[in-house]
């Protein structure tokens, strides 16, 4: 019996070849489904598996509550997995996984998939907390096995494409990929069907070296004209980019994504795209992050006579706004304070209240002088956004408290 500490999870590993038993695996953090576009930072073995038996306490009512925003319950589980093949080939035929996961989703019995493993001494354990990371569930559509990747995207990539991509990536992590291999994946990306191109995108992003250019991305992200290959599913491609793009390229590729979004994204997928772009910003180097954040927060377009914005509420970006930044970040916050109408999510009085409080928590030097000027002329015109009298009065009350002014001020 060996004890391995990994990713704050305790694995008790019992080996009786060819059976591997992993117990005590605990998932930390709030995750409710397999994570879109995310692969473990390191893995040593790729395994095609089938769940022959799984026991857990997750109920359908628990899953529904999570879908409506409730925190996921902590679910104990035990699963027996048949290992059908591995790359590289090792003597491993079964896995027994036992542990806890904070989740609103569990795989079903007889479900197949690809599980990424890491070496621990002479043993192998999941490279990330099962089942939410490092496990790619398999689904059969029209008689062909496919993997929905990214998870929740509705895009199913044939298992053969995913297996080939992960195998080549595993080899590339120990030996620089040959030029012919990189060229093969570039050709698939530029000329292949969308599902195969998504697999190639993952390889080109994760392989070492400068394998992917903005010009290549632009050619496959923009809606096609009908002359060449179909464009990639836009939001799934952005999810993969956000999870795997290198920091050096994050700012330029995010700008490409934002420029392409108005003609490529559908209204019902805007929230998913927004979440991916928020993750994108966090990968941008700090000295460029303020500029990227400003482009994201100001991104809007017109469709059928109506304006649509990528970021419509302040909640998803609070952590980015609160992040301790450099001078450029503080200057951005100052511009947002003085011209909220330039940022769609700040055109509501409740969002402005939250934003002012965020600036107050950071002791932003421009906040109190601005609020004092606002109290001298407490109007919608001063703020630059149309507000109802009641909403304007709510902002006046907050400004008074923040500036310690007790005298009354009228509104118009």
Q: How confident is the model at residue 376 (pLDDT cuts 50, 70, 90)?
A: very high
Q: Report yes or no on 66 lying in a domain.
A: yes
Q: Report yes or no on 57 lying in a domain.
A: yes
Q: In this predicted model, which residue has the larger pLDDT, 181 or 153?
A: 181
Q: Which of 138, 159, 192 is at the close of a domain?
A: 138
Q: Report yes or no on 20 lying in a domain.
A: yes
Give mean pLDDT, residues 201-205: 92
Q: How confident is the model at residue 274 (pLDDT cuts 50, 70, 90)?
A: very high
Q: In this predicted model, which residue has the larger pLDDT, 86 or 143?
A: 86
Q: What is the pLDDT of residue 32?
A: 43
Q: What is the pLDDT of residue 143?
A: 73
Q: What is the pLDDT of residue 2?
A: 36
- Residues 389 and 87: their CA atoms lie apart, in Å, by 66
Q: Report yes or no on 5 lying in a domain.
A: yes
| pLDDT, tens only, 10-27 | 333 333 333 444 443 433
Res. 60: pLDDT tops 50: yes
Q: What is the pLDDT of residue 38?
A: 60
Q: Report yes or no on 116 lying in a domain.
A: yes
| pLDDT, tens only, 131-161 | 888 899 998 767 777 998 888 788 889 999 9
Q: What is the pLDDT of residue 412?
A: 43
Containing structural domain, residue 385: 313-412
Q: What share of the chain has pLDDT > 90, as a percent?
A: 63
The least confident of 141-150, 228-237, 277-286, 340-349 is 141-150
Q: What is the pLDDT of residue 30?
A: 36
Number of domains into which the chain is organized: 2
Give mean pLDDT, residues 96-119: 91
Q: What is the pLDDT of residue 53?
A: 95
Q: Report yes or no on 281 lying in a domain.
A: no
- Residues 38 and 253: their CA atoms lie apart, in Å, by 18
Q: Which of 138, 163, 187 is at the close of a domain?
A: 138
Is there a contact between 233 and 273 (Cβ–Cβ < 8 Å)?
A: no
Q: Which of 138, 159, 188 is at the close of a domain?
A: 138
Angle 251-254-260 from CA coordinates, rounded to 5°: 145
Q: In this predicted model, which residue has the larger pLDDT, 186 or 140?
A: 186
Q: Report yes or no on 153 lying in a domain.
A: no
Res. 364: pLDDT tops 70: yes
Q: What is the pLDDT of residue 297?
A: 97
Q: How confident is the prediction for the chain on average, in pLDDT?
A: 85
Per-residue b or e along 245-261, where b marks 16 or more CB atoms closer than 10 Å to that residue's CB: beeebbbbbbebbbebb
User: 49 vs 52, 106, 399, CA distance in Å?
Assistant: 9, 15, 59
Q: How confident is the model at residue 255 (pLDDT cuts 50, 70, 90)?
A: very high
Give mean pLDDT, residues 222-242: 84
Q: What is the pLDDT of residue 4?
A: 33
Residue with tokens 């590289």: 88
Q: How confident is the model at residue 63 (pLDDT cuts 50, 70, 90)?
A: confident
| pLDDT, tens only, 45-59 | 999 999 999 999 999
Q: Report yes or no on 234 lying in a domain.
A: no
User: 1 vs 18, 24, 44, 309, CA distance in Å?
Assistant: 15, 13, 21, 55
Q: How confident is the model at residue 406 (pLDDT cuts 50, 70, 90)?
A: very low
Q: How confident is the model at residue 294 (pLDDT cuts 50, 70, 90)?
A: very high
Q: What is the pLDDT of residue 28?
A: 33
Q: How confident is the model at residue 339 (pLDDT cuts 50, 70, 90)?
A: very high
């Amino acid at each position: 019996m060996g004890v391995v500490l990994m990713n704050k999870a305790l694995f008790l590993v019992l080996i009786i070849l060819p059976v591997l038993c992993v117990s005590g695996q605990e998932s930390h953090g709030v995750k409710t489904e397999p994570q879109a576009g995310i692969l473990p930072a390191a893995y040593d073995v790729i395994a095609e598996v089938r769940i022959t038996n799984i026991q857990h306490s997750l109920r359908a009512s628990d899953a529904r509550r999570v879908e409506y925003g409730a925190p996921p319950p902590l679910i104990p589980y035990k699963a027996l997995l048949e290992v059908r093949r591995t790359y590289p080939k090792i003597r491993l035929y079964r896995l027994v996984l036992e542990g806890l996961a904070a989740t609103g989703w569990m795989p079903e019995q007889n479900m197949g998939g690809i599980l990424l493993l890491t070496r621990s001494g002479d043993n192998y354990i999941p490279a990330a907390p099962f089942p939410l990371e490092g496990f790619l569930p398999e689904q059969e559509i029209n008689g062909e096995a496919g993997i929905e990747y990214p998870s929740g995207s509705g895009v199913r990539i044939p298992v053969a494409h995913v297996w080939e991509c992960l195998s080549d990536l595993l080899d590339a992590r120990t030996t620089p990929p040959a030029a012919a291999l990189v060229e093969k994946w570039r050709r698939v990306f530029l000329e292949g069907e969308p599902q195969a191109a998504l697999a190639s995108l993952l390889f080109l992003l994760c392989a070492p070296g400068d394998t992917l250019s903005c010009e290549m991305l632009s050619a496959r992200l923009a809606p096609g004209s009908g002359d060449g290959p179909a464009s990639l599913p836009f939001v799934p491609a952005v999810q993969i980019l956000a999870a795997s793009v290198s920091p050096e390229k994050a700012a330029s590729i995010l700008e490409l994504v934002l420029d392409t979004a108005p003609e490529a994204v559908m209204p019902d997928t805007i929230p998913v795209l927004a979440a991916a772009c928020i993750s994108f910003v966090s990968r941008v180097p700090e000295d460029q992050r303020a500029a990227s954040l400003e482009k994201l927060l100001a991104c809007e377009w017109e469709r059928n006579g109506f304006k649509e914005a990528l970021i419509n509420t302040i909640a998803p970006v609070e952590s980015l706004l609160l992040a301790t930044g450099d001078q450029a970040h503080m200057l951005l916050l100052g511009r947002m304070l003085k011209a909220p109408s330039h940022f769609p999510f700040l055109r509501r009085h409740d969002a402005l209240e939250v934003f002012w409080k965020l600036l107050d928590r950071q002791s932003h030097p421009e906040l109190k002088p601005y609020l004092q000027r606002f109290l001298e002329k407490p109007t919608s015109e001063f703020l630059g956004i149309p507000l109802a009298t009641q909403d304007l009065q709510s902002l006046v009350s907050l400004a008074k408290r923040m500036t310690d002014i007790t005298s009354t001020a009228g509104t118009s």
